[in-house]
Amino acid sequence: MTVIHGSFPSSVVALIVFVWMGALKLSVMDTSDLQHLVNEMILECLTLAKIPIKEAAALAGLTETAFRNALSGEKYRHISLFHLLQLPYRFWLHFGPALMWAVAKKHANEIAETFSMKRSA
């Protein structure tokens, strides 16, 4: 097989395409349940911190419509961590612990499932 300078053998090109397609498949995994949970936590923490959505949107550097759309769970809409970091400390006093609790609960459920599978095997 002759390789011309600057080109790749067809097997390398095929491998690159295969890896790229696999990465695409992973990137479109359904994360709607997770996103819904995070959106609910954001709304609850804004309420606990007594920050109206209009004020939160302005602090985050978004329009109120964009902020509401992101929290409504519309597909391909989300609030980035960068925008959340613009919110005041009183929001983070509620959101940080809520996020840690959600992660701990998820891991506890996974551990429980693992042990229940081992017992049944």
Give the global pTM: 0.64
Residue 5, pLDDT above cutoff 80: no
pLDDT for res 51: 96
Other Cβ atoms within 10 Å of 46 Cβ, number: 21
Q: Which of 87, 106, 107, 83 is nearest to 95 (CA)?
A: 87
Highest mean pLDDT among 20-29, 90-99, 103-112: 90-99
Summarize pLDDT for 107-120 with one digit per residue, the tens: 888 888 887 776 66
Question: Would you tell me which CATH number, out of the four given (3.40.190.10, 2.40.100.10, 1.10.238.10, 1.10.260.40), belongs to the domain 29-120?
Answer: 1.10.260.40
What is the sign of the dihedral through the CA atoms of 116, 103, 37 and 94? positive
What are the residue ranges spanned by the domains of the chain?
29-120
User: At CA 51, angle to CA 44 and CA 68, rounded to 5?
Assistant: 65
